[in-house]
Structure 1
Amino acid sequence: MEKFQDSKTTDLCSVDTHDRARLQGHFQGTPRSFRRWFRNQDLNNSAPGISKEELANTLIPGKIWTVGPEDCDWPSSVGDLLEPPIVLYGRGTPLPSGPKLAVVGSRTEDPFTHRMCRLIIDHWATVHPNGAVISGGGLGVDQVALSMALKTGLHPVVCLAGDISRPTPRSLTSLFEQVLHHGTLLSEAFPGTPSFPYLFPDRNRLIAALSDAVVVVRAARKSGSLNTLEHALTIGRPVYGIPGPIDDPGWAGLHDAFDNQTAIPLFNMERLGTPRIRTRASTSMWSKLTKNHRILVNQLERGPATIEALSAILRLTVTDVMQMMLDLELANIVCRRRDDTYETRLESEKACQN
């Protein structure tokens, strides 16, 4: 067992990427348990890890690369997470720098769902030809989103819950091979880790963090898509959804999000032209805000509104809404206009530029 010589702190940048990978290979736990173990360790000379040869034997055959916070191609947006990854494993090309849209939905073979998914990707490719599409690599919506990304020349990014060397499901092997030539496979799990069900919520948070906006094409009340939506809200990513039949339980979770004002119904694809991406200064405060704060911001993203109008929508007193608005102003997320309406800070900056 090889020992580390220079690590004396759990500061991510004090332990290089390959050393973190060696630690994770020795740890043999879930990404979540490894993150927590890593941050609670004093990595001195006694910290064990698999040998450099063992790591090379794991990574090289599958042409797997690693990326960490000290690397120039590390996706800084994952820093918005309360528990950012320690190290990421990838195959294919490095992560792109262009606008990224996450598209998630059910595995159901539904023609309407798939048609909406294709329309979304096609519009994103028209507006952002250098953009990327992020999905989970499953059947149904994931499969359609990745196939459409390849067809339109966008950069497909597949976030896997487990083993990156042999991605599942096996029925999509040919699609994964195409992604390897034109996009990126990404995982937080050490190569060889089976895709256990309890790893998927962790993967979903990564999909949300890598994106600039999230579109949920379809989501039941208990689904991975709804879990991705919740992660996106936690870190301040705008969430859009496709309304479906009101009597279909496969859309019930998404319709609940519309009712709660936590997702924006997508009736016009033009809305995706410029996703309302919040600044890092705002996202650092965003995770500390309540659900009502987030509903308030999502409502303002539809357009300026008065305190009284927001009070009626949220069914809260004017005093409560004024207090929340003050919180959001201090967090640099919203601002007050001369006509006493409020709007998001991003919309205000756009108006000044025009």
Structure 2
Amino acid sequence: ATSNGYPTTQGCAVLAIKSSDIQFHNPFSYSNIRTNPKKGAKVILDCHKKIEQKNKMGLFLTAGPFFEPDAYEQMKILDTFFAHKFKGMFNIIGKIINKNMGKNGFGTANYADEILFILAKNNISNVIGGATIDLDMRTSFQFEGTNVLKDAMIGTFFSSDKLQFDIDWTFDKSQKLNDFDVSEFLTSGYIQKINEKPARQAFLDLIGISEELYNESFARYANASLLYLAALNSEDEEHIPYVSICQSILNGVVTTIPERMLKRKNVNADFFTQSGTGIQKSAFECAMKASRNIEKPLFGMFVNCSNRLLIAGDKIEKENVMIREAIGNDVPFITLYSGGEFSVIKNKPVFSAVSL
């Protein structure tokens, strides 16, 4: 993380707020978030409804998607001839597989999308969420006061009648390579073909890397292949980036694209790579948009889920300089970084394991 412009790699950035103009509400938590996201969303909604102040802001953190190597053995059934021929039946099988993987600490990001969709339907937009992923263990842990919760969602709201809160988001669109058709898929989040080719090979073609090098680089990590594979252009939400996972025993690609997006007749996606300069510009754009409706910002919080290796070192400092320029030199802010992705450096992929 960074605090007031200084990187604290593998360290801790702490913020304290004391004001009679702002009220912090009791934290909420829910421990069965992967398998019952609707209940998790209800917990957030119930907390939101109790707040009487006119301006509200929510923060929450969930367990992230995680796949161990043996989890992909369950997915092999979705590669068969029958999966292509009897899609309706295998959509159901895929959902069962995903749900079982979720119970064991695995799972795709469908549950997170379901939470956000429920919040959006209830006109709750001022919330910031994140997911924690740990590559060394099956589960992730969240903290609520003195309680340690396993694979849980935690969060809180703060509110005020005097202070305003505003939020916005963006991502680096400066390096679009091309677009592609997700031409054959199961709505459970399994892409079988991209541009009418087996999805795994098309995936590797898109990122320009050989299968041998890719498999060698990620032999020890099951989900190290997270990448901005797709940015779907939705009518009401503009571009939405999703990550996908390529694994050697599968012909297809496991994706975090949620079911509601895959139900459309034609799924066309744009493929972007992330650049350090582009991410800095995105940070500036996001800071400007978030502070546009606030006359005198008092504090800023930024969550950056872009690849850390691309903006390591002085590039993080430059990003913070641009944020400071956007919100004002006297405004304190904190930045949270998230990784779990990889960069191709000198034709060799290097993995970045960073949790938010």
TM-score range, shorter-chain basis? under 0.3
- Larger relative contact order (Cα-Cα within 8 Å, sequence gap ≥ 6): 2
TM-score (norm 1): 0.23
Structure (1/2) with the larger helix percentage: 1
